[in-house]
């Protein structure tokens, strides 16, 4: 039976870089993980059922339909053999407030073994967002980024209560990427 690991981090924290580095390290040790983006997986579920035809259609679905798709996606992921990384957000920042990435009905199906929060100081995230010209990012202040990370921790605690998963914080600090990669590899090992 493989491990199911949810990996999260606010935009700009460098989650993908850390995960890819860790998977490279683990690959040399013969440990492999299948990576699944939860949002893309939900879209596949919805499009295979002809519920939507494009990604944009997902947002426009009524709440109860979205909920069903989330649940079915979680069920399908839980059936995958071997180690799985689920790439998602701990909470999504929306105009109406923070939204749980893994609400109760997802957690009950997904039953993750671990939730990893990739974090770093808000000023580092701010400067990474400002210098990343390849994506349009929210123009949050440092305070707002700090709040988002604080809220993610509180949310992860609720996930831990509901599922019994561990919650691991991996720091991805400036100039210390190697350490972040090793911490991530150790968590996934």
Least separation in angstroms between CB 134 and a copy of itself: 28
The verdict on 176 binding a copy of itself (CB under 8 A) reads no
The residue (of 55 and 143) whose beta carbon lies closer to a copy of itself is: 143
103-122 residues in contact with a copy of itself (CB under 8 A) are 103-105, 107, 113-116
- Nearest 5°: the CA angle 11, 43, 166 is 55
Q: Which residues, 6+ apart, have CB-to-CB distance to 57 below 8 Å?
A: 46, 51
- Nearest 5°: the CA angle 109, 107, 88 is 110
Euclidean distance between the first and the last CA atom of the chain, given in angstroms as a whole number: 14
Convert residues 29-68 into a mask of x (bound to a copy of itself by CB under 8 A) and - (unbound).
--------------------------------------x-
Least separation in angstroms between CB 120 and a copy of itself: 14
**Segment interacting with a copy of itself, rule: CB under 8 A, options 19-27, 33-41, 98-106, 129-137:** 98-106
Please give the C-alpha separations between residue 1 and each of 87, 105, 142, 188, 189, in angstroms, as whole numbers: 20, 22, 41, 14, 14
């Amino acid at each position: 039976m493989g491990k199911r690991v949810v990996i999260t981090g606010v935009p700009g924290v460098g989650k993908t870089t850390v995960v890819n580095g860790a998977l490279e390290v683990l690959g040399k040790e013969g440990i492999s993980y299948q990576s699944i983006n939860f949002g893309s997986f939900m879209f596949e579920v919805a499009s295979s059922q002809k519920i939507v035809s494009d990604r944009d259609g997902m947002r426009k679905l009524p709440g109860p339909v979205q909920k069903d798709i989330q649940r079915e996606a979680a069920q399908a992921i839980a059936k995958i053999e071997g180690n799985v990384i689920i790439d998602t957000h701990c909470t999504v920042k929306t105009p109406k407030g923070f939204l749980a990435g893994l609400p109760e009905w997802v957690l009950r199906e997904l039953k993750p073994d671990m939730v990893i929060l990739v974090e770093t100081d808000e000023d580092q995230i701010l400067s990474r967002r400002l210098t990343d010209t390849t994506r349009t990012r929210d123009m949050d202040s440092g305070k707002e980024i700090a709040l988002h990370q604080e809220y993610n921790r509180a949310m992860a605690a609720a996930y831990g209560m509901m599922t019994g998963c561990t919650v691991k914080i991996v720091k991805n600090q400036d100039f210390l990427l190697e350490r972040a990669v090793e911490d991530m590899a150790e968590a996934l090992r």
